[in-house]
Chains A and B, each alone.
Chain A
Amino acid sequence: MDNTLLATAQALAVSVNGERRLLVDDEGRAASMRLSQMIAIWGYGEQKIAVAINEQLVFRQDYEHTLLRGGERIDIVSPIQGG
């Protein structure tokens, strides 16, 4: 991979729950992606989740309009037992 492509791929990586993930579409191409698309690609489907990007809550109705450009720190949480 030449340096330009490598830089592009690295720039289009995000952290999801502390793990590095590449922003790639269904065909494996690096691209800026909408949050709604990546949630589906990452396998969350219809699961009950809440999402924060860089420690800021993203409302559910904004998933479709939120563009990931690379470098974001994303937290995806679900209900769990609690006391």
Chain B
Amino acid sequence: MNSADQPDLLTLGDDSFSSRMIIGTALYPSPMVMQESIIDSGAEVITVSLRRQNPAAALAENDQGAGGEEFWAYIKQLGKRFLPNTAGCHSVKEAVTTAQMARELFDTNWIKLEVIGDDYNLQPDPFALLEATKELIDQGFEVFPYCTDDLVLCQKLQQAGCKILMPWGSPIGTAKGLLNPYALKTLRQRLPEMTLIIDAGLGLPSHAAAAMEMGFDGVMLNTAIAGADRPPLMAAAFAKAIEAGRSAYLAGPIAPRDSAKPSSPVVGMPFWHQDAAR
């Protein structure tokens, strides 16, 4: 619980941030909309990836649009902290080599570690994720593992040296929100010292608010913003929801109960008579 005198910052690795949103850079209708959305979100950390690229001349001719020098120019201007990912990796070796290339490319030891186990729901392969995590922590990476909401997996990731976990709310891009609130609350209760950031599956700002109200430390978003009709407006909406959820958590909300409890005093109710009560 944050003291009123201390700024309420999100600590990631050796850095602290005012915003509790991490935002992705994919799927926007244009680089300009991406830029505007990131600015309106207030996020200070953005996720990026790396892929094979042909030389710049070839990109300009066929306008593949994705990545390359144009993209790099746009995101550099924003002055944000990069969190590279290993999206699309299916094996430990792929993920570890990709992480090493990301460190070389983006000059950061941060890595959002994704090792996919199923191509339909894109869920992490928990066994490969744990093995890759151990290897990358040994190599000095700050690992942000994209994981399921399985408590034992999260405990093992913590034991491997992770300080941050990124459990899914629901499968990537599904906008189903928090599918298993019980499991997520369990993670929060059983791993109080870990930084927990909900990653994947959020669709509405209310989903993000709900995650923050549970006590999660932050939220990672991409599709919910980039896929909206008006991404910059949605980015701002999510920012407000995250702030509201965080404030609600710090304010100490009332607990739900089964029976009603009147909010107005009962004593002194006018028109009440003892005879009528019999």
Contact = CB atoms under 8 A, between A and B. Distances in A.
Given A43-B57, A83-B85, A83-B172, A78 B104 contact: no
A80 B101 contact: no
A56 B97 contact: yes
A45, A52, A57, A59: most-surrounded residue (chain B CB, <10 A): A57
Interface in B85-122: 85, 87, 93, 97, 100-102, 104-106
B26 A82 contact: yes
B140 to A, nearest CB: 14
Contacts of A76: 52-53
A80 B50 contact: yes
Taking residues whose C-beta sits less than 8 angstroms from the other chain, chain A's interface range is 20 to 34
B51 A78 contact: yes
Interface residues of B, number: 40
Contact of A83 (B24, B69, B93): B24
Interface in A5-37: 17-18
Contact of B105 (A42, A77, A81, A83): A77
A49 B75 CA distance: 15
Contacts of A77: 50-53, 101, 105
A75 B84 CA distance: 17
A69 interface: no
Nearest to A39: B55
A43 B45 CA distance: 32
Contact of B50 (A45, A47, A55, A79): A79
B55 A43 contact: yes
A76 B49 CA distance: 13
Interface string A59-80: 1100000000000000111111
A14 B84 CA distance: 28
Nearest to B56: A47
A80 B49 CA distance: 5
A55 B24 contact: no
B12 to A, nearest CB: 17
B133 interface: no
30 contacts: A17-B53, A18-B52, A43-B56, A43-B57, A44-B56, A47-B55, A47-B56, A49-B53, A50-B101, A50-B102, A50-B104, A52-B97, A52-B101, A56-B97, A75-B52, A76-B52, A76-B53, A77-B105, A78-B51, A78-B53, A79-B75, A79-B106, A80-B68, A81-B26, A81-B49, A81-B71, A83-B26, A83-B47, A83-B172, A83-B223
Interface of B: 24-28, 34, 47-58, 66-69, 71-72, 75, 84-85, 87, 93, 97, 100-102, 104-106, 172, 222-223, 226
